[in-house]
Structure 1
Amino acid sequence: MRLHVYLLALPLFAGCQYLPRTEYFTAPQNEPNPAFIRIINFTQHASIYQYSNGVRSGGVVRTGPLPFIHTQDIGMPKAGQDLTFDFYETSVQPGKETEVHMSWEGEKTRYCFVTAKFTPQPGRYYQFRMTSGDEGSCKLFPTTVEQSADGAWTLKPNPDVTYPHGGPERKASYGNDLYRDPNYKPFVPPT
Structure 2
Amino acid sequence: MSSRPSLCLLALPLLAGCQFLPHTNYFIAPVNEPNPAWVRIVNYTQHAGIYQDEKGVRTGGVIRSGPLPFINTQDMGMPKAGQDLTFDYYETRVRPDVETEVSMMWEGPRTLSCFITITFTPKAGRYYQFMLNKGSGDFCTSDASLIECDKNGTTWHLTPNPEVTYKSNGSTAEKRFSNARFEDPDYHPDPNLYPGTAL
Q: TM-score with structure 2 length normalisation?
A: 0.90
Name the counterpart of 1:182. Answer: 185
Name the counterpart of 1:38. Answer: 40
Superposed, 1:126-141 pairs within 5 Å as 126-141=128-143
1:8 is paired with a residue of what secondary structure? helix
Q: 2:84 aligns with which of 67, 75, 82?
A: 82
Equivalent residue letter for 1:160: E
Ranges in structure 2 where 5+ consecutive residues have no aligned partner: 193-199
User: Is the Cα contact below 8 Å between 2:24 and 2:67 reproduced in 1?
Assistant: no
Residue 66 of structure 1 deviates from its aligned partner by 5.5
Q: Deviations over 1:49-72 (max 9, x none)?
A: 000112211000001256733210
User: Is the Cα contact below 8 Å between 2:40 and 2:89 reproduced in 1?
Assistant: yes
User: Is the Cα contact below 8 Å between 1:106 and 1:134 reproduced in 2?
Assistant: no
Residue 94 of structure 1 deviates from its aligned partner by 0.2
* Alpha-carbon distance in 1 for matches of 2:69, 2:13: 32
User: Is the Cα contact below 8 Å between 1:104 and 1:132 reproduced in 2?
Assistant: yes
* Alpha-carbon distance in 2 for matches of 1:187, 1:64: 28
Equivalent residue letter for 2:19: Q
Q: Deviations over 1:25-81 (max 9, x none)?
A: 000011000000000000001000000112211000001256733210010000010
CA distance 1:17–1:187, shift in 2 (3 Å): closer
Q: TM-score with structure 1 length normalisation?
A: 0.93
Residue 8 of structure 1 deviates from its aligned partner by 2.4
Residue 180 of structure 1 deviates from its aligned partner by 1.6
Aligned-pair RMSD on alpha carbons? 1.6
Q: 1:111 aligns with which of 77, 97, 113?
A: 113
Name the counterpart of 1:13. Answer: 15
User: Is the Cα contact below 8 Å between 1:133 and 1:171 reproduced in 2?
Assistant: no
Residue 170 (structure 1) aligned with residue 170 (structure 2): no
* Alpha-carbon distance in 2 for matches of 1:67, 1:16: 20
Find runs of 4+ consecutive structure 1 residues off by over 6 angstroms: none
Q: 1:160 aligns with which of 159, 163, 173?
A: 163
Equivalent pairs, count: 189
Residue 121 (structure 1) aligned with residue 123 (structure 2): yes
1:139 is paired with a residue of what secondary structure? strand
Ranges in structure 1 where 5+ consecutive residues have no aligned partner: none
